[in-house]
Structure 1
Amino acid sequence: MIIRTKASILGTDLDVDWGNGTSRRLLVAADERGYAITDAYVRPGTSTELRFDNHLESCYCVEGHGAVEVDGTTFAIEPGTLYAPDKGEVHVLSSADGMRLICVFNPPLVGTETHKPGVTGPSGY
């Protein structure tokens, strides 16, 4: 049994600042579950172009509002909304006022991966 709280990982290697937000890695590859779970926060006023070539990701909004844009179509994200881009699909995640997401990754994250907002092209891992 694994019991882990967000408070227990704050300030550790599993508390990742990815530039336009934070990602608290609650479950990672070393936990040997076959998937990872993160508690992610998107900072207000940010927009990040993303693409995950090595992972499938599903994100469920639990707080705040934002949007995800893919192929020129923008979808509103609010509490109770899930979005799950295809592997390798470029998408732009944004939030005017801040947004909190619970995310699942398969295969699991190691735990220390981070985005590089502002690089040429999408950021991902």
Structure 2
Amino acid sequence: MIIRKLESVKTVDWGNGLSRRFLLDADGLGYSITDTTVRAGTKSRLQYRNHLETCYCIEGSGEVVELDGTSHPLTPGVLYSLNNNDPHYLVASPHVDLRLVCVFAPALLGDEVHNLDEGTSSAY
């Protein structure tokens, strides 16, 4: 059995927020679970080419925007899943951080960070 507390997990500044990584590849489960904060007022162009990701919003607000401009509001209780390695923008509202619980498959190694160059999607 694996038991972890928020204050003892690996915390990574991924570029526009913090990712607290509860489960990693070394745990041998085949998936990762993170508690991710997206800083208020940020917009991140992302694409996970090597992972599938599902996120559940637990605090704050924002939106996930497809590259064609289709926007999906994020508020507590909303889940989105990037089941086709979908490129997207993750946007936090201007006045409050967005907080998500995220599952990655396959599992993250633990040190991944984004390169948030405006012209391309950051991937890992």
**Both structures adopt the same fold (TM-score exceeding 0.5):** yes
Cα deviation for residue 119 of structure 1 reads 4.9
Superimposed CA distance per residue, residues 62-106 of structure 1 (whole angstroms, 9 cap, x where no aligned partner): 000010001320010000000111333110000122110000000
1:88 maps onto 2:121 in alignment: no
Cα deviation for residue 3 of structure 1 reads 0.7
TM-score (norm 1): 0.93
How far apart, in 2, do the equivalents of 1:48 and 1:119 lie?
8
How far apart, in 2, do the equivalents of 1:39 and 1:124 lie?
18
Name the structure 1 match of 2:33: 37
Amino acid at match of 1:106: A
Name the structure 1 match of 2:57: 61
What stretches of structure 2 of length at least 5 have no aligned partner? none
Name the structure 2 match of 1:2: 2
How far apart, in 2, do the equivalents of 1:2 and 1:117 lie?
33
Deviates more, 1:113-122 or 1:31-40: 113-122
CA RMSD in angstroms comes to: 1.0
How far apart, in 1, do the equivalents of 2:107 and 2:38 lie?
20
Cα deviation for residue 7 of structure 1 reads 0.3
Runs in 1 of length 4+ with deviation above 2 angstroms?
none
How far apart, in 1, do the equivalents of 2:76 and 2:85 lie?
25
**Quick check: 1:55–1:87 contact (8 Å CA) kept in 2?**
no
**Quick check: 2:57–2:77 contact (8 Å CA) kept in 1?**
yes
Name the structure 2 match of 1:78: 75
- Corresponding pairs, count: 121
TM-score (norm 2): 0.93
Give the share of equivalent positions with the same residue, in percent. Answer: 49
